[in-house]
Chains A and B, each alone.
Chain A
Amino acid sequence: MISLKNVSKYYDGKRRVVALEAVDLHIERGEMVSIVGPSGSGKSTLLNLIGGLDRPSTGEIRIDGQAVAALSDDDLTRLRRDKIGFIFQFFNLLPSLTCVENVALPLHLKGLPRKEIDKRARALLDLVQLAERFDHLPDELSGGERQRVAIARALAFSPPVLLADEPTGNLDTHTGAEILRLIHDLHERLHATILVVTHDATVAESCPRTVTLRDARIDGDVRR
């Protein structure tokens, strides 16, 4: 499903920063993988590259058999829209839009018929158990609820790949556990390929496979 060959990422500023160095990684369809490592080790960079938010400096990335490097900016965006769902640590909801509107964002961007969009957005909010919060603004929700909205948005097209960068990092332990349960639940029900970047050992250990990064390189790859 996801394969990286010799992928590196450098940031060229006054000094060259190596964010990721010669990474080889292969993830099968339906796997659920946690990515751990110290701060600054390149976890977010890895996730961003897989999600097509950024392009590698060298190396090849394939998503669902498609080579990312060959895609134009807009094609990459379409790939993101249709095949990849993002869940961010800071939710990244648009504050001026209601929950339904936030969830409907990708659907609108694809230009689906409005009736269908509304139905689907409501179904997705139902799925994350937020049925009664349809028309609330993000400001009016708790952290956990916001993350649920973000998850519903990520699931808009039932993407085969879900990427979560520290999804529980900004939540208290209890809420974090709830969100983790939701992600596991989705994994089982939707059979999506899921990558979770985390600091939290319990989160990491709950996944069947854990990849460890250290100093921009893969330092361990454990399957349970």
Chain B
Amino acid sequence: MILLRLISWPYVRKHLLRSVLTTAGIVLGVALLVGMQGANRSVLAAFNQTVDRIAGKAQLQVTAGESGFAEDVLERVQAVPQVRAAAPVIEASVETGLKGQGKLLILAVDMTGDRSLRDYDFENGDEDVIDDPLVFLAQPDSLIVTREFAGRNGLGAGSRVAFDTMEGPRQFTVRGVLKAGGMAAAFGGNLGIMDIYAAQKVFGRGRHFDRIDIGLAEGVSLEQGQAALEKALGPGFNVEPPSGRGRQFESLLGIYTTAMSISSLFALFVGVFIIYNSFAIAVTQRRAEIGILRALGATRGQIRTLFLGESAIAGLIGSAAGVALGLAFTRSLAGFTGQLMEAIFGVPQNTREILVDPRFLLVALVLGVATSMIAAFVPARNAARVEPVQALQKGKYQVLLAGENRTRRRAALLALALSLGCLALSRYRPLFYLGYLLTVTAALLLAPFLSLELARLLRGPLKWLRPIEGSLAADSLIQAPRRTSATVSALMLSLALAIAHGGVSLASVQSIQEWMAGTLNPDLFVSTSETLAARDFRFPAAMEGELEAVPGVADVQPVRTARVHLGGKPVMIVATELGRVYRHIHRTIIAGDAQTMDTLAPEGKGVVIGENLSVLQKLHLGEIIELPTPSGPLRLPIVGIIRDYSNQLGAVFLERSVYVRYFQDDTVDLFRVYVKRGAAGEEVRRQIVERLGGHRRLFVLSNREVRDYVTGVANQWLGLTYIQVLVALMVAILGIVNTLTVSISDRRRELGVLRAVGGLRAQIRGTVWMEAVAIGAIGLALGTATGAVFLYYEVQAIGKDIAGTPLAYQFPFGIVALLVPVILIAALISAVLPAETAVRSSLVEALEYE
């Protein structure tokens, strides 16, 4: 280890900037990994904590998807002998209008029985009326809040809190304050408790409960209780411990987590190239030193250990910095993730605490160090192979050996041939992905050779542009391909991924827009919330008539959406009057014919499903699907498959009357409203608000607003593309600075001669800049070509395995048009510092014989 201090430290100090840049790849990857993991964990933990806290002593929870169930289910549950206590619950979140407070999660319970499951620990009892729950019940405007919420908003017993209810705006009176801790810690303290029968009115639940919390009788195990309840209730109900909700939420969060993890792992992967590059360069620059060490008796093992040790230290420092950076970003990432979950799935979020798993930090640290060491492995081995005598021969080592080149090219062609074979057999999905992997391998193997050829190709134009500066810049690339190949490879990969993601994004947004144009064509949407995803409030069925009575309204279509479990996944049931809806929309029919669909589905003799559901769960036309409902399983044939983007995991379109019958739920989430020909949308909108707004909580959205909202949500997902572009940008800057720093040190003599015989500063800078731009251009060329291929694979993967809706192959010219200037400018920026170093270094020293 003495070697590390004596040999490595001075080198690092001398090349400080480069050393810092080298570790930046690791920093970035580890930071992304830690930040994302921390954020997701915190969001998930906050969700679980809320579930757990408000579950109290409940061991099991009875639910029926998102539809809820009628009150009489409670009696059926209570009749089960294994049940000690059963308490009905309605849970929903509201906007309180208190500044900066976010949402208030309302837990509505039946106070008479609820204390057998939950502990209500109130502040100074004598002042509170709560001591008598019946008094509380008698006043439906009562609200209990937590100490924390009360403290933040200056509330106390008797204070008023206002929010919109299904019966218009209402004032609620704080009749009790929960002590801190226990249940009061749920939802970041933003918890309100209300009487369940009041809540049925407030949230438009009719005579329904969202779920029933169960305490089991003494001596009854969880499994026994679960079995007994399932038997008593039938298959339409879910009986699970409270933690089951966490799992469901996790599966929603999962899609997003996977996407983000891929991004961070990719950043680490690119880090491998940057580190490899740095070490390869260091080894060549330090050949003489290595030769001397070898001559002085250092063994090959010691040399290898020296370089691996360096990489381990670099990895450790980089990972540590990455962990710190990741932790710093966790909070804002958690906020972003929470928002996304709320916008897409309508699950209210309140993440106040940031949770970090020290074990994961350790894993990230180890991963960072391992990445660094893997990257340094080949250069370290090469260093160990240096012969003392060879070390003094300069220049030769940077040439890509012809033999090596040929082997690589052969391996690349083999990989390419195999990947084509895989493509031909891509029906078998693992082979398809193997083919993708082989293509990536081929691209990486070919990158050095291709970048050399491209540099040769560029020499002409560069020379034409600037006879001296241009040809020297190209020559620098041609003569030392090793110096640039790793940078070009990293750039190629990250650009290819950015392009592939960009293409996928573009195609998705376009198909979603096409779909919206065909199906989201009502003039107005009447919703219970500003975001179409939230389902806290529900309209009564009677509102359909009220809307129809508004002058100018031509047609009103009630829609009720509720997730149920189908094939183990939360799938959306869209219950509507299919006949009326189908008269207005343009469907893209994937399977089945319009006529059968239009006769059978509206009669309730079949369901229409989304294409993604059919692909993801392998459901075909004519098959019978079984939907779990509170009245028992509902079996219907699939009479049509249409293109659909309303739910990521798939949707089942069901005739409303059938839904109402089976789910005993006639509430409505959304009314699609068409205005009469000639009537002004704005005027109708005003009329609706005027007539209904006073006694109903409602939001009337125009067609434009809804489309913008959907596009906005889609774009939020596609924000990942920009993260990729950002990673590409970082790679470009890191790699190019790194390569150029070495290049100008390699070209010191040449640049010195140039200056000696009359090269002005601008001309010296020019040649360095041209080299940088050439690297950028080569990376862009290879990245674009590779990206075009990657895009093909991603489109296939998404269409067949991930989303289930086929995407058009659309090359994202826009993204490329963005990347070209961004990368070239990044290249120029990267060249600024090295160019200045070149201009300012001592001429005399440059010209001296070394």
9 A-B pairs whose Cβ atoms sit less than 8 Å apart in the complex: A53-B756, A77-B758, A78-B758, A93-B753, A94-B472, A105-B754, A108-B467, A109-B468, A153-B757
Judge whether A173 is part of the interface by a CB distance below 8 angstroms: no
Report the minimum CB–CB distance from B561 to chain A (whole Å).
Answer: 68
Knowing that A53-B847, A77-B760 are A-B contacts, what are 20 other residue pairs whose CB atoms are under 8 Å apart, sorted by A's residue number?
A: A44-B844, A53-B843, A53-B844, A54-B843, A74-B761, A77-B759, A80-B757, A82-B758, A88-B847, A92-B756, A93-B753, A94-B472, A96-B478, A104-B467, A105-B468, A105-B753, A108-B467, A109-B468, A109-B759, A114-B467
Asked if A94 and B750 sit within 8 Å, CB to CB, the answer is yes
- Which residues of A sit under 8 angstroms from B467, Cβ to Cβ? 101, 104, 108, 114, 117
Q: A73 — nearest CB in chain B belongs to which residue?
A: B761
List 4 tightest A-B contacts by C-beta distance, closest first.
A81-B758, A96-B475, A108-B468, A108-B467
- Which residues of B sit under 8 angstroms from A212, Cβ to Cβ? none
Judge whether A90 is part of the interface by a CB distance below 8 angstroms: yes
Judge whether B471 is part of the interface by a CB distance below 8 angstroms: yes
Q: B845 — nearest CB in chain A belongs to which residue?
A: A54
Interface residues of B in 731-775 (CB under 8 A from A): 749-750, 752-763
- Which residues of A sit under 8 angstroms from B847, Cβ to Cβ? 53, 88, 92
Report the minimum CB–CB distance from B559 to chain A (whole Å).
Answer: 71
| Bound Cα distance from A132 to B749, whole angstroms | 27
- Which residues of B sit under 8 angstroms from A80, Cβ to Cβ? 756-758
- Which residues of B sit under 8 angstroms from A53, Cβ to Cβ? 756, 843-844, 847
- Which residues of B sit under 8 angstroms from A96, Cβ to Cβ? 471-472, 475, 478-479
- Which residues of B sit under 8 angstroms from A167, Cβ to Cβ? none
Judge whether B849 is part of the interface by a CB distance below 8 angstroms: yes
- Which residues of B sit under 8 angstroms from A94, Cβ to Cβ? 472, 750, 753-754
Interface residues of A in 79-107 (CB under 8 A from B): 80-82, 86, 88-90, 92-94, 96-97, 101, 104-106
Asked if B849 and A90 sit within 8 Å, CB to CB, the answer is yes
- Which residues of B sit under 8 angstroms from A78, Cβ to Cβ? 758, 760
Asked if B844 and A92 sit within 8 Å, CB to CB, the answer is no
Interface size on B, residues (CB 8 A): 26
Interface residues of B in 101-116 (CB under 8 A from A): none
Selected contact of B755 from candidates A48, A77, A153, CB within 8 Å: A77
Q: Given A53-B843, A109-B757 in contact, is the A92-B468 Cβ separation under 8 Å?
A: no
| Bound Cα distance from A78 to B755, whole angstroms | 10
Report the minimum CB–CB distance from A47 to chain B (whole Å).
Answer: 10
- Which residues of B sit under 8 angstroms from A73, Cβ to Cβ? 761
Q: A72 — nearest CB in chain B belongs to which residue?
A: B761
The interface centre, meaning the residue of B468, B475, B478, B755 with most chain A CB atoms within 10 A of its CB, is B468
Q: Given A82-B758, A94-B753, A153-B757 in contact, is the A109-B843 Cβ separation under 8 Å?
A: no
- Which residues of A sit under 8 angstroms from B471, Cβ to Cβ? 96-97, 101
Q: A74 — nearest CB in chain B belongs to which residue?
A: B760
- Which residues of B sit under 8 angstroms from A117, Cβ to Cβ? 467
Q: B842 — nearest CB in chain A belongs to which residue?
A: A54
Q: B395 — nearest CB in chain A belongs to which residue?
A: A95
Secondary structure at chain A's binding surface: helix, strand, loop or mixed?
helix
- Which residues of A sit under 8 angstroms from B752, Cβ to Cβ? 92
| Bound Cα distance from A114 to B762, whole angstroms | 20
> What mask results when residues 50 to 81 of chain A are scored 1 for a CB within 8 Å of chain B, else 0?
01011000000000000000000110011011
- Which residues of B sit under 8 angstroms from A154, Cβ to Cβ? 757
Selected contact of A106 from candidates B475, B757, B843, CB within 8 Å: B757
Asked if B844 and A54 sit within 8 Å, CB to CB, the answer is yes
Interface size on A, residues (CB 8 A): 33
Q: Given A54-B844, A96-B472 in contact, is the A110-B758 Cβ separation under 8 Å?
A: yes
| Bound Cα distance from A93 to B475, whole angstroms | 14
- Which residues of A sit under 8 angstroms from B756, Cβ to Cβ? 51, 53, 80, 86, 92
Question: Interface of A with B (CB < 8 Å)?
Answer: 44, 48, 51, 53-54, 73-74, 77-78, 80-82, 86, 88-90, 92-94, 96-97, 101, 104-106, 108-110, 114, 117, 153-154, 156
Report the minimum CB–CB distance from A171 to chain B (whole Å).
Answer: 14
- Which residues of A sit under 8 angstroms from B759, Cβ to Cβ? 77, 109
| Bound Cα distance from A205 to B25, whole angstroms | 62
- Which residues of A sit under 8 angstroms from B478, Cβ to Cβ? 96
Asked if A86 and B757 sit within 8 Å, CB to CB, the answer is yes
Q: Given A54-B843, A108-B467 in contact, is the A92-B753 Cβ separation under 8 Å?
A: yes
Report the minimum CB–CB distance from A146 to chain B (whole Å).
Answer: 13
- Which residues of B sit under 8 angstroms from A88, Cβ to Cβ? 847
Selected contact of B757 from candidates A44, A48, A81, A114, CB within 8 Å: A81
Q: A104 — nearest CB in chain B belongs to which residue?
A: B467
- Which residues of B sit under 8 angstroms from A97, Cβ to Cβ? 471-472, 475
Asked if A109 and B754 sit within 8 Å, CB to CB, the answer is yes
Report the minimum CB–CB distance from A54 to chain B (whole Å).
Answer: 5
Report the minimum CB–CB distance from A75 to chain B (whole Å).
Answer: 9
Asked if B849 and A109 sit within 8 Å, CB to CB, the answer is no
Q: B758 — nearest CB in chain A belongs to which residue?
A: A81
Report the minimum CB–CB distance from B397 to chain A (whole Å).
Answer: 15
> What mask results when residues 834 to 850 of chain B are scored 1 for a CB within 8 Å of chain A, else 0?
00000000111001010
Report the minimum CB–CB distance from A39 to chain B (whole Å).
Answer: 13
> What mask results when residues 466 to 506 of chain B are scored 1 for a CB within 8 Å of chain A, else 0?
01100110010011000000000000000000000000000
| Bound Cα distance from A82 to B756, whole angstroms | 11
| Bound Cα distance from A90 to B759, whole angstroms | 19
- Which residues of A sit under 8 angstroms from B761, Cβ to Cβ? 73-74, 77
Q: B464 — nearest CB in chain A belongs to which residue?
A: A114
| Bound Cα distance from A85 to B182, whole angstroms | 88
Interface residues of B in 799-850 (CB under 8 A from A): 842-844, 847, 849
| Bound Cα distance from A156 to B843, whole angstroms | 21
- Which residues of B sit under 8 angstroms from A77, Cβ to Cβ? 755, 758-761
Report the minimum CB–CB distance from A99 to chain B (whole Å).
Answer: 14
Asked if A92 and B749 sit within 8 Å, CB to CB, the answer is yes
Report the minimum CB–CB distance from A95 to chain B (whole Å).
Answer: 8
Asked if A109 and B472 sit within 8 Å, CB to CB, the answer is no
Asked if A109 and B844 sit within 8 Å, CB to CB, the answer is no
| Bound Cα distance from A106 to B467, whole angstroms | 11
- Which residues of B sit under 8 angstroms from A90, Cβ to Cβ? 849
- Which residues of A sit under 8 angstroms from B479, Cβ to Cβ? 96
| Bound Cα distance from A115 to B759, whole angstroms | 20
- Which residues of B sit under 8 angstroms from A105, Cβ to Cβ? 468, 753-754, 757-758
Report the minimum CB–CB distance from B752 to chain A (whole Å).
Answer: 8
| Bound Cα distance from A180 to B761, whole angstroms | 33
The interface centre, meaning the residue of B749, B750, B842, B847 with most chain A CB atoms within 10 A of its CB, is B847
- Which residues of A sit under 8 angstroms from B843, Cβ to Cβ? 48, 53-54
Q: Given A54-B844, A96-B471, A97-B471 in contact, is the A109-B763 Cβ separation under 8 Å?
A: yes
Q: B463 — nearest CB in chain A belongs to which residue?
A: A101
- Which residues of B sit under 8 angstroms from A156, Cβ to Cβ? 757
| Bound Cα distance from A44 to B539, whole angstroms | 94
- Which residues of A sit under 8 angstroms from B753, Cβ to Cβ? 92-94, 105
Report the minimum CB–CB distance from A68 to chain B (whole Å).
Answer: 14
Report the minimum CB–CB distance from A179 to chain B (whole Å).
Answer: 18
- Which residues of B sit under 8 angstroms from A48, Cβ to Cβ? 843-844
Q: Given A77-B759, A109-B754, A110-B758 in contact, is the A89-B849 Cβ separation under 8 Å?
A: yes
Q: B752 — nearest CB in chain A belongs to which residue?
A: A92
| Bound Cα distance from A40 to B530, whole angstroms | 84
| Bound Cα distance from A86 to B479, whole angstroms | 26
Report the minimum CB–CB distance from A21 to chain B (whole Å).
Answer: 18
Q: B839 — nearest CB in chain A belongs to which residue?
A: A73
Q: A105 — nearest CB in chain B belongs to which residue?
A: B757
- Which residues of B sit under 8 angstroms from A81, Cβ to Cβ? 757-758
Asked if A109 and B750 sit within 8 Å, CB to CB, the answer is no
> What mask results when residues 695 to 711 of chain B are scored 1 for a CB within 8 Å of chain A, else 0?
00000000000000000
| Bound Cα distance from A44 to B479, whole angstroms | 31
